[in-house]
Every structure is written in C-alpha cells, then in structure tokens.
Chain A
Amino acid sequence: MNEQELVQAAKAGDLPAFNQLVLKYQSLAYNVAYRVMGQPDLAADATQDAFIKAYKALDRFRGQSFKAWLLRIVTNTCYDMLRAAKRRSTDSLDDVLVSPEHSVRLTDPGEGPDAHAERRELAQILQWALSQLPPEQRMVVVLSDVQGMSYDEIAQTMGISLGTVKSRLSRARGKLRVILQAHEEHLPPRYRLKNATPMSS
C-alpha cells in the first residue's frame, strides 16, 4: 500500500496500517523532537505521545501532506513538554560538554578516537547552541538546516507563512552565528567562523 492508502486504512481504524506509517516516520519524528528537546528520554516521550495523538486525530486529517501534518503534531507536543519542563536553556556549555545526555551516535567503523572525540564535541556544542534559541526559531532551524526541508514544507508544518519562515530562519541563523562565534574555541578549526572564506561571486 502507498502512503495515501495507508492513511485511509488507518483512518478506518486499521492500526497495523498506521504502524507502517509510524515505522516510516519515526526516525524523522524522533530526530526533530530530539533536536528541539535536547534530551533522548524527553524526545522519546514526545515522539510516542505525538504518534498517539496523531492516531487519535486521524479523523481531522484532510488529505494534505501526512509528513507535514505529523511533524506539526510532533512540534506542538514538544512545545507543550518544553513549557512544562522549562529547563536546559540556562545550562552553560561547560555543563553540556560533560553531560552524557548530549552524545553522538555510535562511532563509524575505522574512525579514530580523536575524530570521534571531535565529532562528539561538535555535536554537543551545536545542540547546546540550538537550545539557546527560542523554541519557534529552534524549530525552524531544525526543519530547515538539520532536516533539509523546503520553506513550503516548513510553512505547512508550522502553520506559518513563507515570509514568517524566512524572517524566523534568518533571525535564528543570526543568533546561532553569534553564539557559535562566542564559543569558537570549542569548534574544530575548520568550522571556526572567523576562518570562513568569502564566496567568490
């Protein structure tokens, strides 16, 4: 069955059909939740809650992009949980760098210990920098720069206009640039912003 057929079957109460959609989108949903929440456990809870909410709200799905509709539920669930948690945004980078919560995925085979340590530190800094943004800006950066979604998809997912996507993303990138520049010593040399070479036009 294709996605449309799976959605229709799920709307008719076919749970296995819905679970096929879960398997298709669980990685995307979890990663968005993880980047927004910053903690694996909270992200897993948000993802599970979002899928349950999505199943219960299938009656209200009107045939637009299922991916955008699902991600909107994920982001709203994350907002709710962030509002309830109200934490991490004031953590210092030094706390984050020693926290086991901010880890990277398992090392690639053949990757040396230095390379792995560098990758791990970069991931922790980026996650921390993201956590310093307001949730709305964090979300738009995650969808655009981490997940590679187009402005149209972001607008549909977040329920905002294209103009708002552009301005929100620009402000978020500007803040990230300032945050990362302020902690450049933790970035690998090739990612230090002062080393950025102007593009030849």
Chain B
Amino acid sequence: MIFSFPSSRSSISDELLSAYIDSELTPADRARVEAALQAQPALRRRLAELQMTVDLMAQMEPMPVPRAFVLSEAQVQPHRERRRITLWQRLLPAATAVAAIALALVLGLDFGGVVAPASQPQIAFAPAVVEEAPASSTEAEVEGLRTEDMAAPMAASPSEPMVMKEVEVEKKVELTKEVAAMGITRAQETAVITSEPTPTLAPRPTSAPQPSPTFTPRPTPVPQPAPRSPTKPLRWLEGLLAVLVGVLAWATWRSRRIH
C-alpha cells in the first residue's frame, strides 16, 4: 500500500512535499517540512515514494526527432501573401476614392475658377475685328487675311502681347494692299507675304504715320494679357490624377476578381 500515511494525518501536505523535492519552497516552509520529516517517519516514507515517482518520470528518455521541422517558403508564403493582399485590398478603394475626389476638385477649380476669366479677352477681341467692314474687294481679302492671321498667332502663342500681333497684322495688311495694287495673283501674293521677314517685337512707329487710303484704322483694343499660365499645372495635375484614378480603379477591380 503506497498511501500508508495519508497526507490528512500530517500537517505537511503532498503539495508541500512536492515543492520540497523541487526546492521551490520558501525558507520558512522548507524549515517547517524538514522539522516534520525529522519527527514523522511516515512522512519520510511519503516523501520517498514521491521522490521515486519523480525519479521514474525522469527516466523518460528524450526521443530523437523523426525529421527536421524547418519551414519552407511554401508553408508560410500563402499566409503572408494573403495578409499583404488583404491590406492592399483594404487600402485600394479608399485610395481610389481619394484620387477621384482630388480629380473632381481640380477639374472644378479649372473650369469654374481659372479658365473662364482667361477666355474673356479672346471673346472681346473678336468683335473689334468684325466691326471693320470691308470697303472693297481688296479690303475683303485684307479682312480674310486679317482674321486668319489674327487667329493663328493667338492660338500658337497665347501669351504674346496683343500689341505685337497688331503690328504684325497691320504690316501684312499694308503689304497685301501693295501687292493688290501691283496686280499680283493670290498665289503670288502669298509667296510675297511669306517671303517678308517676320517682324520681331517691332515697336509701333510713332513718328511718320503711314497713310491708310482705304479704311480708317480701327481702335486699338485694350491689350488684356491672357492669364492662361495657371491652367498649365492644373492640366498636368488633371492628367496625372486621371491616370491615377484609372490605375487604382483597375487594381481594385483586379484584386477583388482574384480573391
């Protein structure tokens, strides 16, 4: 019989004995257990049996590992990939929405705040040209030339000062009139006009004004610089944001399709 002396008959419990074997008692408890062991042979017997049990379990030999348990990429990759994609998936719609809102704001700023005032001088300038009614066929040709020539440079270099264009146009008008007086055909006229050197920022002649036989000089429109430069960065921004929204929307669609 193992339990010859049940622990209830002693003041020392099995728990104290167990901890005593493992040297896990406080000094006070240890002293109490040792005093009881000296006084009680039955307690010494219990301790011996418990110690034998502990010694027996310590006889369990370590088993060799059947194989190495090192992990391969394949064993861990799916989890890491899935977690990264999940985070990516979570961020994509929000990023797309932010980019779309930014694009809308920039578009609103462009069409509503900057472009409209910048286009006014062009619209105001056109009637000034139309007001000049041609007095003859030569003047009709001149008018055609004027409107053509006016439109082209404005489109090409919108930021060029209006005064310089005015000088150019008037110079060409005078040339055209001279050509017409000499009886040259339209094709020849064009050749002559284009062979003329293009004036570069020539100041308007103030002394010795040129006589103008067929039409009165139209009033010089107030030069209003076209403030189109602010739209350039906005256009770039619009383009970039449009591309970004497209890419993000595509990525969102694709990631949801995969998972």
Contact = CB atoms under 8 A, between A and B. Distances in A.
B52 interface: yes
Contacts of B75: 52
B28 to A, nearest CB: 15
Contact of A173 (B18, B37, B38, B71): B18
Interface residues of B, number: 46
B76 A126 contact: no
A35 B15 CA distance: 23
B18 to A, nearest CB: 4
Given A22-B70, A23-B70, A196-B49, A145 B58 contact: yes
Contacts, number: 140
B67 interface: yes
B63 A198 contact: no
Instruction: Please indicate which of the listed interface residues A104, A122, A127, A177 has the most CB atoms of chain B within 10 Å of its own CB.
Output: A177
A170 B18 contact: yes
A35 B60 contact: yes
Interface in A153-201: 166-167, 169-171, 173-174, 176-178, 180-181, 187, 191, 193-194, 196-201
Nearest to B83: A56
Interface residues of A, number: 59
B56 interface: yes
B47 interface: yes
Contacts of B69: 22, 26, 29-30, 44, 47-48, 51
A82 interface: no
B166 interface: no
A98 interface: no
Interface stretch (A1-9, A12-20, A60-68, A86-94): A12-20
A201 B13 CA distance: 17
A151 interface: yes
Contacts of B45: 196, 198
B110 interface: no
Nearest to B15: A170
A115 interface: no
B4 to A, nearest CB: 10
A126 B63 contact: no
B94 to A, nearest CB: 23
Given A26-B68, A105-B64, A151 B22 contact: yes
Nearest to A176: B53
Interface in B27-84: 34, 37-38, 41, 44-45, 47-71, 73, 75-76, 79-80
A7 B15 CA distance: 37
B63 A34 contact: yes
A24 to B, nearest CB: 11
A117 interface: no
A47 B98 CA distance: 47
A94 B16 CA distance: 34
A198 B48 contact: yes
10 contacts: A26-B65, A27-B62, A30-B66, A34-B63, A40-B66, A55-B76, A105-B63, A105-B64, A177-B53, A198-B41
Q: Please list the 4 inter-chain residue pairs (A to B) with the smallest Cβ-Cβ separation, ordered nearest first.
A: A145-B57, A198-B44, A170-B15, A170-B18
Given A26-B65, A199-B51, A201-B34, 12 more contacts: A19-B70, A122-B56, A146-B58, A151-B24, A166-B18, A166-B24, A170-B14, A170-B18, A173-B54, A174-B50, A199-B47, A201-B38
